[in-house]
Chain A
Amino acid sequence: MSTIGLVLRASARDLARNRWLIAYAAGFWAVTEALFYFGGSGPQVILSLLNAVLFVVPLVALVFGTAHVHASREFIEMLLSQPLSRRSVFAGLYLGLALPLTAAFLLGAGVPLLLHGAAADAPRLALVLLATGGALLTLTFAALAMVIALATDDRLRGMMLALGAWFVLTLAYDGAVLVLVSAMGDWPLERPLLALMLLNPVDVARVLVLTALDASALLGYTGALFRRVFGSALGPAVAVAALSAWAAIPVLVARRRFLRRDF
């Protein structure tokens, strides 16, 4: 455990000094402040921020994470030539990437939200869920970045893959779902659609925040299943569970890859 801590600390210290990461946190802070300054009411700011979170968090985690792991190749080799097990090196590396990213997000978006949100008439639950969703998205996409970086030796190829994954998960997937709904509109799509939402972490995070922010609209839908899911604590609970699973699966894939590959 202590070796994990050591690797984590070394990696995190390295990242904390990284100006892109600092810019990320500062950027989020600036956007949040600007939203409160210009945007007015709390729910509105949360909405704008939700869009920013769904768009930017996966992008930054993927691109930054992939680039960081590629750039850490030397560091990884150095660690692996020390008397450390690959398991602990992996754990340290992953946490060393994911935790500073999460911290940057929470600092950049969370602190101003808490400062202003307390004053604005923002629904508290939505604030908490937005922070939770953003943090879990960061963990998920940091892990996906590791999967990509560990599967590619070429940095450019890794970056293209990262951008591709981002595009698919934030835009193309929902676009395909929309096409599906339009094409299959006469079929009962409730269940398949809910399942499809659970299969994409960006959608899970979005629906999680919606349960607090747009409950009125979600409950307005006539489907009994929707009402059961969104009319109770079940919706947020399922979404948080699915997001946690989403954070865990790529970690396991990346870990398996890390334990087997050559450096």
Chain B
Amino acid sequence: MVTEVRARLRRASRLLAGGLAAVVGGAVSGTAGGAQDLVVGAGARFATLGAAVAAATPGATIRVTPGRYAEPTVVVRVPRLTIIGEDWPRFDGEGAHEILVIRADSVTVRGLEFANTGISQMEDRSALRVTESVGCVLADNRFRDALFAIYLERSTGCLVRGNDIRGTGGVETRNGNGVHLWYSPYNRVEDNQVRGQRDGIYFEFSRGAVASGNLSEGNRRYGLHFMFSDSCRYERNTFRDNGAGVAVMYSKVITMEENAFLGADGSTGYGLLLKDITDGSISRNRFEENSTGLFLEGASRLDIRDNDFRRNGWAVRLMADAEDSRFRGNLFAGNAFDVSTNSRTLRSDFEGNWWDAYRGYDLDRDGTGDVPFRPVRLFALVVEKHPEALLLLRSPITSVLDAAERVFPVLTPALADPRPLMRAPR
């Protein structure tokens, strides 16, 4: 498995340049160098995409004219093929089958609309599948009511960009993922919009992936999901109103920057859910109006810096086995609970963050409070143990509890920010 992927990676490095060049400039003029230029459509030479693909030679360009196409699954085995739709011709899976399968390197698919694959419990039925290929480009396509929209398996060096994916919004068991990468390292997923799928984007056993500029909204489970995918990076994405914004599980060295985690407000609503991950960094993200902004379970050695946590139920929930993470320069405002935990001993480290609940002073005028801030309220511990007690949130009795705890700090963890910022950093 691993050696196979490595061999493909070497090939990918040769082909990647060509593939990307095709995106940037070459794809527009498919006829350059006397290559084939095939046209599909009613009254054209080819009535179906399948017929055109069968006739195509490597490097050919297939133009699909507007219309509705319903034909058996088309499998591309010709490398360097470019398929371009004019005004989004609609390929209908008739609720029964996959639509386009790529089994060749450096294939470009652009401007098609894929619809209606139907639901299967037996296979991960996908509108557009790339299998064991390198350097493919899937750009500016539309997907409507597909179980899985784009599925990359054992493929690498591909670019998935600018696609508009709208799922059925069906429940998890009858729904698939928007963009799914399986054993597919070093791919890029950029500027796509995914709605109404199970997971918006899912990286499974796919290291080195980059996701940027995507909008993942209203997906049933996660906006973005990592499983066993190390050394990935995602940035400038927006995750809104998903079951949970992003789940990162069993992965190392994930870089998470400048994303917006918004409105994951279900009972399992997490802006960012971390489970058994190490050595990542989370910086300059926004967490707003999630049930829990950032949830850390078995997460360690994370650098969490310059993030904004606003109006979440719980801004940060640290489970007992989360350790050695550093919180610096983060902003906490309008959260019901800033930090909560189920443990008395916390081995994470907060310093130089801004807390709206901080009521200290700065006599030496160094910009940080002279009194440490203890972000874990006693009431948060009570709620962690007895969730129903949440109904007493903001009750004067909880202020009494907290005041008592401040005078006799015996129950809440020793966790404190020794140098809380006096002014909001942003």
Contact = CB atoms under 8 A, between A and B. Distances in A.
Per the CB under 8 Å rule, do A and B touch in the complex? yes
A249 interface: no
Chain A: number of interface residues, binned into ranges? 35 or more
A222 B267 CA distance: 5
A54 interface: yes
Interface residues of B, number: 37
A222 B291 CA distance: 11
B314 A217 contact: yes
Q: Is the interface of A mostly helix, strand, loop or mixed?
A: helix
A182 B266 CA distance: 25
A219 B389 contact: no
Interface in A78-98: none
A182 B394 contact: no
A207 interface: yes
Contact of B395 (A40, A206, A219, A220): A206
Interface string A203-233: 1001101100111111111110011000000
Contact of B388 (A41, A47, A193): A193
A43 B356 CA distance: 10
Contact of B313 (A189, A193, A207, A218): A218
A99 to B, nearest CB: 26
B396 A221 contact: no
A190 B290 CA distance: 22
Interface of B: 265-269, 289-292, 311-314, 333-334, 336-337, 356, 382, 385-401, 424
Contacts of B269: 216, 219-220
Interface of A: 40-41, 43-44, 47, 50-51, 54-55, 170-171, 174-175, 177-178, 181-182, 185, 189-190, 193-194, 197, 203, 206-207, 209-210, 213-223, 226-227
8 contacts: A44-B334, A178-B389, A178-B401, A210-B393, A216-B265, A216-B291, A220-B313, A221-B267
A40 B424 contact: yes
A194 B391 contact: yes
Contacts of A55: 396
A187 to B, nearest CB: 9
Nearest to A191: B388
B336 A171 contact: no
Contacts of A181: 382, 386, 388-389, 392
Nearest to A43: B334
